Amino acid sequence: MTEPRKRHPLGRMIVQRLAIGVFTLFIISVLVFLAVSLLPGDIAQQILGQSATPETVAAMRRDLGLDQPLITRYFHWIGGVLQGDFGKSLANGRPVADLLATRLPNTLFLAAYAAVIAVPLSVLLGLLSAMWRGSWFDRGVNTLSLTAISFPEFFIAYILMYWLSVQWGWFPSMADPGSNPSLMDLVQKAFLPAMTLVLVVSAHMLRMTRAAVVNVLGAPYIAMARLKGVSKWRIITRHALPNALAPIINVIALNVAWLITGVVIVEVVFVYPGLGQLMVDSVTNRDMPVVQACALIFAAVYICINILADVLAIATNPRLLHPR
């Protein structure tokens, strides 16, 4: 009899990560629903105003399903989400899915805009710092990265807005691209929020790239490459970087995930019409279906990017893929 074929370790790991991701997203959906449902105040009363009669408020609660038990409301909501129905906005009556469809592409564009600049810049500066560690260049880059980490994103946003918009007038301070903008309009109007995100996330990726490469440079095969006369840049890119990819991929994925889920403050500062701005406006208006949908979308994106990071980190590291 032939032995049963063993599943590939990478495939088994992907299945395990997906299962953990689905379970984590389920727990998050429960926490989000409970947090929104337990907020003080009556949504029906707020919608109708203080002059509404108790009978009118009770009728509104029935229309919104607020008179049903909490667990019934949760399964009704999550059942609709699984079918692509996030409910209707309490502020304007529009389907929440339509609001997400108009705002989510803007957030994804802003995150991609920042990532295209931040990822290669951070990796390049990290490699150069590792190659010239201890030099004035290394010290300067480390000082700038520590400075960027120390400042919150709203402070960086206001500094960029003051100099690049108010003082020099190079870019608009309001990042609203309007309806049907061209690609160049999007690039210009989203430049300030994108650069804010770049300055925030680049420091983390740069420092991790430098630390991972410097750690590998102490290996015996690197010393052998030096004795053979291999150039510094070739040692860094051909020998050190491939063996330092796992932690670099992880930190890049975490920061790219933050670019999508952590844009709320930046979008509010620049009045950028993304998912973060929609979430803040919905919290102000007590539009709970929209708040729940935005929180769930952010959580799903963060979990998916982390799963992808785990898979890539293991796929690029044979020691993790084939443990003894």
For tokens 């020099």, the residue is 168
Q: Decide which of 54, 82, 110 is a domain's last residue.
A: 82
- Structure token digits, residue 16: 């395990």
Range of the domain at 14: 9-82
Reduced 3-state DSSP string for 288-324: HHHHHHHHHHHHHHHHHHHHHHHHHHHHCCHHHHCCC
User: 206 vs 9, 216, 230, CA distance in Å?
Assistant: 31, 16, 25
Give the count of domains, the chain.
Answer: 2
For residue range 117-147, what is the model confidence (pLDDT) as tens digits? 999 999 999 989 988 888 899 999 989 888 8
Is residue 66 located within the same domain as residue 145? no
Looking at the structure, tell me whether residues 224 and 155 fall in a common domain.
yes
Domain boundary at 52, 82, 112, which?
82
Tell whether 90 is covered by a domain: no
Q: Does 232 map to a domain?
A: yes
Q: State whether 27 and 102 are in the same domain.
A: no
Q: Which of 3-7, 74-78, 158-162 has the lowest mean pLDDT?
A: 3-7
53 in a structural domain? yes
Asked whether residue 121 falls in the same domain as residue 255, the answer is yes
3-state secondary structure of 136: helix
Q: What is the pLDDT of residue 9?
A: 67
Does 271 share its domain with 188?
A: yes
Band (pLDDT 50/70/90 cuts) for residue 1 is very low
Do 175 and 286 fall into the same domain? yes
Query: Do residues 64 and 103 share a domain?
Result: no
Whether residue 50 is found in the same domain as residue 170: no
Question: What pLDDT, on the 0 to 100 scale, is given for residue 247?
Answer: 83
| pLDDT tens per residue across span 140-181 | 998 988 888 888 888 899 999 989 988 888 888 888 777 777
Average the pLDDT over 284-293 and give the result. 86
Question: Which range among 49-53, 109-113, 126-130, 193-197 shows the weakest confidence by mean pLDDT?
Answer: 49-53
Same domain, yes or no: 105 and 78:
no
- With a CB cutoff of 8 Å and minimum separation 6, the contacts of 156 are 148, 196, 199, 200
**Angle 73-78-82 (CA atoms, 0-180°, nearest 5)?**
150
Residue 72: how many CB atoms within 10 A of its CB? 10
127 and 61 in a common domain = no
More confident residue, 3 or 193: 193
